[in-house]
Amino acid sequence: MGKPDGKEGINAPGTQTTMSHPFTTLGVPEDLIRGITELGIMTPTEIQRQAIPFLLKDGGDLIAQAQTGTGKTAAFGLPLLTKIDPQLNAIQGLVVAPTRELAKQIGKQIFRFTKYTEKMFVEVVSGGDPMDKQLAALRRPTHVVVATPGRLLELIKRKALSLDAVRHLVLDEADEMLSMGFKKELTEILALTSARKSTWLFSATFPEEIDLLIKDCMSPKAHSIQIDQAHVVNRDIKHLFAICPRSEKTDFIAEFLKRRKDERGLIFCRTKAGAINLCTQLASLGFLIDVLQGDLTQKERDKVMRGFKKGRFQYLVATDVAARGIDVDSLSFVIQHQLPEQLASYYTHRSGRTGRAGKKGVSLSLIEPKEKWKITQLENELRLSFSEYR
């Protein structure tokens, strides 16, 4: 990616608001403030309030427990850009993410932050995209790379890029990368960035493998942040539940969709087989719908997402892993066909697909009579209030 077009001068967008902008108190420089103001980023989230001042001032190793949807990209992206020397034609910042969709989302956001800065170049390299285009892009000056693990190592083997000058490494959704089998690749990436000054690790959960990774690659004095889940949930979302026997869920969802008419939504299932089955049943009832699940090839996933974003079908059924990085505007609702096994963290991820950009949204969970306790648990852990849908 090159540099966004910026407008210089006293009347440029954002100029009048930088001094009073809440991010100014966190230490974010004026040129970046102008960029995020245009993006409508005005109120820091909890992870941003805690991470940005530390990363700007100290910049050492950071371990942050934070869910998807907490504003992590700005939390590490803004400090990362302040560490870049635009005059040095080398990759100085590296962000590693588990999926192509998430990598592109991160790269796009960081790129937008640079609109009013001195020229800095951000490239995304991920599996599923044409290799020749990535090779050509990397011949240009590049300061920050956002990558998926496999494609990054493939390009290094082709000598298309070097990590020798990387000083700051970000591992985003580290638990997902390990659960997807990227342990070997991460170990190799850590070895190739041995000259780095800091590692910033973000993870929703901390299984044993994450603890071992932290011990192997990070300072024992690493700064630690843990975000209370109550700070994560979007307050523009109305949370509903309906008691529904499993055998009646498809009919219940069909009736719900008929009531919502022209609105668009996302339906989460716990398994690949369940997602495919539900999509098939709803399609047979005449609904414009498709499915996103882990057995699809990257090409097939891209086709489904393009169709959904362009409105070729109204609804999307998805599994949790397949839905990582989904960022679609104007989704009016999310339906939980079943609640996730990792209850609080995945519920936050799922429900956060609606109610975006200041709009209102609905999250509806279908539960069997014996599962009512799960709603109570979510209310307690996330400090939410659920209403029964009738």
Under-50 pLDDT residues of the chain: 5-17
Q: Provide the whole-model pTM.
A: 0.75
Please give the pLDDT value at position 354. 86
Does 140 lie in the same domain as 20?
yes
| Residues 45, 73 within the same domain | yes
DSSP 268: E
CB burial of 299-322 (b: ≥16 within 10 Å; e: otherwise) equals eebeebbeebeeeeebbbbbbbeb
For residues 218 and 247, membership in a common domain is answered with: no
Residue 66 is assigned to a structural domain of this protein: yes
Indicate the residue among 199, 227, 255 that finishes a domain: 227
Centre a 10 Å sphere on the Cβ of residue 388 and count the other Cβ atoms it contains.
9
Residues sharing a CB contact under 8 Å with residue 233, sequence separation 6 or more, in sequence order: 348, 351, 352, 382, 383, 384
Whether 9 is in a domain gets the answer: no
| Structural domain boundaries enclosing 113 | 15-227
pLDDT at 356: 73
* Residue 261: per-residue pLDDT: 87
Residues 265 and 359 in one domain: yes
Distant-in-sequence contacts of 155-162, Cβ < 8 A, 24+ apart: 155/125, 156/192, 160/134, 160/135, 161/91, 161/125, 162/90, 162/91
Instruction: For residue range 237-280, list pLDDT tens digits in order.
Output: 999 999 999 999 999 999 999 999 889 999 999 999 999 999 99
Residue 72's φ and ψ, nearest 5 degrees, are -65, -35
149 and 170 together in one domain: yes
- The verdict on 153 and 191 lying in the same domain is yes
Strands (E), 162-314: 168-171, 198-203, 223-226, 237-243, 265-269, 289-292
If you compute the radius of gyration of the chain from its CA atoms, what whole number of angstroms results?
Answer: 21
Do 145 and 178 meet the contact criterion of CB atoms below 8 Å apart? no
Do 145 and 285 fall within a single domain?
Answer: no
The rounded distance, in Å, linking the Cα atoms of 105 and 114 is 15
Q: Nearest 5°: phi and psi at 156?
A: -65, -40
Cα gap 322→346, rounded to integer Å = 13
Cα–Cα distance measured from residue 220 to residue 315, given in angstroms and rounded to the nearest whole number? 47
For 319, the 3-state DSSP assignment is strand
Sequential DSSP letters for 45-96: -HHHHHHHHHHHHT---EEEE--TTS-HHHHHHHHHHHT--TTS-S--EEEE
What pLDDT is recorded for position 341?
Answer: 83
Q: Assess if residue 3 is contained within a domain.
A: no
**End of a domain among 197, 227, 257?**
227
Total domains, the chain? 2
- Please check whether residues 98 and 145 belong to one and the same domain: yes
Asked if the structure places residue 4 within a domain, the reply is no
**177 part of a folded domain:** yes
105 in a structural domain: yes
172 and 274 fall within a common domain: no
Q: Is residue 333 part of a domain?
A: yes
pLDDT in tens, 83-135: 999 999 999 999 999 988 889 989 999 999 999 999 999 999 998 889 999 99
CA angle at 274 for the pair 273 and 279, rounded to the nearest 5°:
100
Q: Domain holding 166: CATH number?
A: 3.40.50.300
What pLDDT score was predicted for residue 295? Answer: 86
Asked if residue 304 and residue 160 are part of one domain, the reply reads no
Domain end position, chosen among 180, 199, 227: 227
Q: Please give the pLDDT value at position 9.
A: 33
**Rounded (5°) CA angle 151-107-361:** 115
Asked whether residue 1 is assigned to any structural domain, the reply reads no
For the chain, the helix, strand and coil percentages under 3-state DSSP, each to the nearest 5: 40, 15, 40
Same-domain pairing of 164 and 83: yes
Q: Could you tell me if 221 and 236 lie in one domain? A: no
Residue 149 CA to chain centroid, in angstroms? Answer: 16
